[in-house]
């Protein structure tokens, strides 16, 4: 379809900044940019009819991190990088709550739990030492948990296992610093906040290619004619390699299901198992369960938004053998879906200028709900007003 002169002079007129991807990172980048530089002409280009990556398809944990996950991160990346990542998550959660009222995104601060089994991948006998170590090193970095009055960052609440009814679980750790929210409501609130400041969002617009030149960047999309912009920020996370093939970004599909309401449902909060490979929470009186990617690592390195029988069956077994009390009737599974995360060799986001006037903020490593506001601030610092 050819565009009109009116459209060319408005929707498709040259911009100061084009952001590719309307997930949390793209939206927070627009939010930070337009508040820092209110006169900028900013457009977000999104290939889907609605944001179609992970931001509206995740589990909605405003994730802080579990004991075994953080201890594994120390082994993988060292203490300093682990601390930096937790700090980003914590500051991100604070930023979300500073900008939006809790009600807008159904935020609930019920805390997060980690289920630990004997003879699992995490040595259960280390739990209390690890809790003491993490509480000690995290407190000064985050500025929490070190006052006598404040709750400890992590504590052993194994005495609650029977209350929840978990099976084959021998220890339970808890942190009051994790919360849960409605991801799509937060995305919509962000969309409305940036649009109110004049940011344009074009859906069904897929960036196919871009080219830097002396005046900025020319962008080729599925629409007719190129779009011109002074700067472009690529916020396409799991899809980043399509536009930036050299980046160390590997797509990682996450599969989820939600049950029908469960009578006498006992869970309230967010729950992790096996270094975060399994995660579940309550959505009212329904169970949302996701994960099991480690059952089929290679097959799940995909951007295809299907669900598979192997992963879904594994999740169902996990629900019956671990989560629900012994003898429970199997609940109906009401919905199944998947979303695409981005991983890489390092568990850190990539925020950089990849070419003149071309920036990227990608590879959220499955924690984008929490870290996106801080990733966006870091990306904006690299850019010109
Ligand atoms: C099942 C699942 C559970 C998760 N649970 C949690 C959780 O509980 N807590 C947490 O913190 N994180 C969680 N995550 C991760 C979190 O959702 C992501 O880290 C976060 O949403 C990433 O945001 P983003 O904006 O970087 O990417 P996305 O939300 O993926 O946004 C990228 C956008 O770019 C668009 N796009 C891609 N290519 C193009 C193109 N060429 N042109 C135009 N548009 C394009 C896509 O359609 C997409 O909308 C989960 C993820 C999944 C999949």
Q: What is the pTM of this model?
A: 0.97
57 lines ligand 1 (CB under 6 A): yes
Ligand 1 lined by 349 (C-beta under 6 Å)? no
377: helix, coil or strand?
helix
Of all protein residues, the one whose alpha carbon is nearest to atom 18 of ligand 1 is 368
Q: Could you tell me the fold of the domain covering 5-57+184-247+346-382?
A: FAD/NAD(P)-binding domain (3.50.50)
Q: How far is the CA of 367 from the centre of ligand 1 (A)?
A: 10
Measured at the CA of 366, the angle between CA 313 and CA 251, to 5 degrees, comes to 75
Residue 38, exposed/middle/buried by CB under 10 A (0-12, 13-18, 19+)? exposed
d(CA 379, CA 314): 38
Residue 236 CB less than 6 A away from ligand 1: yes
| Number of neighbours of residue 215 by Cβ within 10 angstroms | 11
Cα separation of 131 and 150, whole Å? 16
Torsion angles phi and psi, residue 291, rounded to 5 = 120, -145
Distance 39 CA to ligand 1 centre (A): 28
**What's the CA gap between 48 and 339, in Å, rounded?**
13
Residue-range domain boundaries for the chain? 5-57+184-247+346-382, 64-77+104-179, 250-343
Q: Which atom of ligand 1 is nearest to the CA of 55?
A: 21
Q: Could you tell me if the CB of 65 is within 6 A of ligand 1? A: no
Burial per residue of 279-308, b for 16 or more beta-carbon CB atoms within 10 angstroms, e otherwise: bbbbbeebbbbbbbbebeeeebebeeeeeb
63 lines ligand 1 (CB under 6 A): yes
pLDDT digits (tens, 9 = 90+) for 235-250: 999 999 999 999 999 9
> What are the Cα distances from residue 234, in Å, to 17, 22, 119, 354?
11, 10, 43, 10
Compute, in angstroms, the gap from residue 259 CA to the centroid of ligand 1.
23
Angle, nearest 10°, between helix axes 24-36 and 183-196? 30
Check residue 7 and give left, alpha or beta (phi > 0: left; psi -120 to 50: alpha). alpha
Going from the C-alpha of 329 to that of each of 243, 264, 288, 321, the distances in angstroms are 47, 12, 17, 12
Per-residue model confidence as pLDDT tens digits over 290-313: 999 999 999 999 999 999 999 999
- Give, for ligand 1, the residue of 185, 217, 341 to mutate: max count of ligand atoms closer than 8 Å to Cβ: 341
Give CB contacts under 8 A, 24+ apart, made by 205-210: 205/45, 205/46, 205/47, 206/45, 206/47, 207/20, 207/45, 207/47, 207/243, 209/243, 210/243, 210/358
pLDDT in tens, the chain (385 residues): 888 999 999 999 999 999 999 999 999 999 999 999 999 999 999 999 999 999 999 999 998 999 999 999 999 999 999 999 999 999 999 999 999 999 999 999 999 999 999 999 999 999 999 999 999 999 998 887 656 557 899 999 999 999 999 999 999 999 999 999 999 999 999 999 999 999 999 999 999 999 999 999 999 999 888 999 999 999 999 999 999 999 999 999 999 999 999 999 999 999 999 988 999 999 999 999 999 999 999 999 999 999 999 999 999 999 999 999 999 999 999 999 999 999 999 999 999 999 999 999 999 999 999 999 999 999 999 998 8
CA distance 202 to 195: 11
Class of domain 250-343: alpha beta
- Cβ atoms within 10 Å, residue 27: 30
Alpha helices in 107-231 (DSSP H): 127-142, 161-164, 183-196
61 touches ligand 1 (CB under 6 Å) = yes
- To which residue do tokens 């942190």 refer? 175
Answer yes or no: are the C-beta atoms of 46 and 354 closer than 8 Å.
no
- Which atom of ligand 1 lies nearest, measured to the CA of 256? 1
Under DSSP, the state recorded for 73 is: H
How far apart (Å, rounded) are the C-alpha atoms in residues 171 and 224?
59
What dihedral do alpha carbons 275, 89, 160, 323 form, nearest 10°? -50
Distance 187 CA to ligand 1 centre (A): 11
């Amino acid at each position: 379809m050819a565009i009109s002169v009116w459209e060319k002079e408005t929707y498709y007129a040259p911009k100061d900044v084009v952001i590719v991807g309307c997930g949390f990172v793209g939206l927070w980048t627009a939010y930070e940019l337009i508040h820092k530089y209110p006169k900028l002409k900013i457009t977000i280009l999104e290939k889907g009819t609605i944001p179609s990556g992970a931001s509206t398809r995740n589990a909605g944990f405003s994730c802080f991190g579990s004991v075994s996950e953080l201890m594994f991160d120390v082994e993988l990346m060292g203490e300093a990088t682990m601390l930096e990542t937790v700090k980003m998550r914590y500051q991100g959660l604070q930023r979300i709550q500073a900008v939006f009222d809790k009600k807008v995104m159904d935020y609930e601060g019920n805390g997060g739990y980690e289920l630990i089994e004997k003879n699992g991948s995490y040595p259960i006998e280390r739990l209390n030492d690890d809790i003491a170590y993490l509480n000690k090193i995290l407190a000064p970095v985050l500025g929490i948990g070190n006052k006598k009055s404040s709750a400890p960052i992590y504590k052993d609440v194994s005495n609650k296992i029977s209350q929840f009814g978990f099976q084959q679980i021998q220890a339970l750790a808890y942190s009051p610093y994790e919360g849960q929210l409605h991801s799509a409501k937060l995305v919509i609130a962000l969309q409305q906040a940036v649009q109110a400041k004049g940011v344009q969002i074009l859906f069904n617009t897929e960036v196919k290619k871009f080219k830097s030149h002396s005046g900025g960047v020319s962008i080729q999309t599925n629409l007719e004619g190129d779009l011109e912009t002074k700067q472009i920020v690529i916020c396409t996370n799991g899809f980043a390699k399509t536009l930036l093939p050299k980046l160390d970004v590997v797509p990682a599909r996450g599969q989820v299901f939600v049950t029908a309401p469960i009578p006498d449902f006992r869970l309230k909060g967010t729950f992790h198992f096996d270094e975060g490979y399994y995660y579940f929470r309550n959505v009212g009186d329904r169970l949302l369960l996701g994960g099991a990617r480690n059952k089929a690592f290679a097959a799940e390195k995909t951007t295809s938004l299907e669900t598979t029988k192997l992963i879904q069956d594994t999740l169902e077994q996990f629900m019956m053998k671990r989560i629900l009390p012994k003898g429970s009737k199997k609940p109906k599974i009401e919905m199944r879906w998947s979303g695409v995360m981005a991983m890489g060799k390092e568990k850190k986001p990539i925020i950089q200028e990849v070419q003149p006037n071309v920036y990227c903020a990608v590879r959220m490593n499955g924690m984008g709900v929490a870290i996106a506001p801080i990733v966006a601030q870091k990306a904006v610092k690299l850019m010109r007003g």
